[in-house]
Amino acid sequence: MTTATASARDLRSHLEHSPMSVYQWAIVACAVLLNANDGFDVAAMSFVSLNVENEFGLSGSVLGTVISATLVGMAIGAVVIGRLADVLGRRWTVVGSAALSTVGMFLAASSQDVVQLGIWRVLTGLGVGGILASITVITSEYSSARWRGLAIGVYSAGYGVGAFLGGLAANGLQAEFGWRSVFFVGASVSVLIVIALALITPESVQFLVTRRPKYADKALTRIAARVGYDPARATLAQQIDESAPTAAKSGLSELFSRKVIVATVLLWVAFFTVMFGFYFVNSWTPRLMTEAGMTQEQGVYIGMALAIGGTIGSVLYGVIAARVEREKLLLAFLLISAGTIIVFVLSTALLTIAMVLGVLVGLLVNGCIAGMYSVAPTRYATSARGTGVGAALAVGRVGAILAPILGGAMLDSGWTLVMLYSSAAIMLVVGAVAVAFLRRIPEPREAD
């Protein structure tokens, strides 16, 4: 038994302060796989959109609605399923959400018209939204204070990896097997991920201590054995429940209590603006590069550069966050991202420089997402954490939904590329202001 283990007050203290075990990193790996699945699915829809448009004879506005359908489902799932996670537990909420997403992808592969495709994309989004609300909390809870930033960064990097693989799959499969094959392959891989989740993902220790379900003692001792803590000291009676007096209050109303209402509003502003900027850059850049004089193929290369940069950025944020205050680091990423986006759009006449800056933009904006994921769970007590994170993600998804829609409307209105990308940069600056004010508010004692 290590010194940290022996001196830990309880299992939660052990998870917070002791070196992370192989099992804890396996939990992070599951989170990475889930986020990669999300990235694959969203990117795949963007890459198959042209064939979908041609097969169903869609207008640009209808196609945009179909592309946004998944994001609509995510926003709903983040709130509704996030709330269920606070009541029923996070483990089976994650597994169930992943299964729901998998079913949605299989059904999307069988779509015979645009209405069916839109419905199944919403269903897929519901599952993905539920996954993000719960797996973010689990990843945060099972990561030590020292490595939490890195764990969230690695988890966030999964999106870029999945987006890159989604592009490869779409380009490799569509010509021979059609656009439906991309969703079928994604769903088939997702089945394996669901199985891995059922075998590896644990219940939240804080949920077990706060909600005290009948299986709590059995689950706690099993978790303790896997993370290197003495199972004999892991029973419910031996855990320090600092949140018991308020455990019964866990609805949306708690997010607007006097103690956290300002933090809630600031988080929502930050999530909305950061998600808007992230999805604008990732969804519109390949298309807008053709407006800058590039070929369609070159535009795709720039999109792939964003995905590669995103993978690096999420991990880089996590590495730095292990040594620097998370919110201070997020503030720096947001401000540098805004400036880099402007430099990027001014460089599009030179492909090589645009490629390099594309990687840098992807690195920075994905780092911002990783930062938001690492900051949000620390702002709520256990009883409201799933609901709080889910609500923040839902607000963020509204920004994500509006980004491609407003981008198209602004393009149709004659906005130049500099004006379009400047709007995204301004949104990130607004997010930075919200984070700057958030830093002034102390975190709940339970999240320390």
Q: How far, in Å, CA of 265 to CA of 271, rounded?
A: 10
**What's phi and psi for 252, nearest 5 deg?**
-60, -25
| Per-residue tokens: 224 | 């303790």
Tell me what pLDDT residue 423 has: 94
Q: What value does the mean pLDDT take over residues 145-153?
A: 77
Kindly indicate the confidence band of residue 99, based on its pLDDT and cuts at 50, 70 and 90.
very high
pLDDT at 1 over 70: no
Q: Which residue has the higher pLDDT, 382 or 137?
A: 137
Nearest CA-CA partner of 344 in 353, 333, 332: 353
Average confidence (pLDDT) over 15-19: 79
**Which pLDDT does position 206 carry in this prediction?**
76
| pLDDT score of 4 more than 50 | no
Q: By mean pLDDT, which of 144-153, 192-201, 295-304 is the weakest?
A: 295-304
- How far apart CA 120 and CA 102 sit, in angstroms, is 10
Closest CA to 333 of 305, 304, 278, 371: 371
pLDDT digits (tens, 9 = 90+) for 425-435: 999 999 999 99
Q: What is the pLDDT of residues 358-404, one digit of tens each?
A: 999 999 998 898 889 888 887 887 667 777 887 888 888 889 888 87
Q: Give, in order, the Cα–Cα distances in Å from 331 to each of 127, 263, 408, 439.
A: 30, 16, 29, 9
pTM for this model (two decimals) = 0.72
Note the pLDDT tens digit of each residue in 31-56.
888 888 888 887 777 777 777 878 88
Find out if CATH 1.20.1250.20 is the number for domain 3-443.
yes
In the numeric block, which tokens belong to residue 42? 């969203």
For the chain, the domains span: 3-443
> Rg of the Cα trace of the chain?
21
Q: Which residue has the higher pLDDT, 119 or 137?
A: 119
Residue of 152 and 235 predicted with greater confidence = 152
Hey, what are 237's tokens?
Answer: 């009676």
Residue pair 164/311 in contact (Cβ under 8 Å)? The answer is yes
Question: How does the average pLDDT of the chain come out, rounded?
Answer: 82
pLDDT at residue 244 above 50?
Answer: no
Q: Which two tokens stand for residue 99?
A: 């299964």
Q: What is the mean pLDDT of residues 257-267?
A: 86
**CA nearest to 81, candidates 397, 438, 314:** 397
Q: Which is nearest to 36 in space by CA: 146, 168, 147, 145?
A: 168
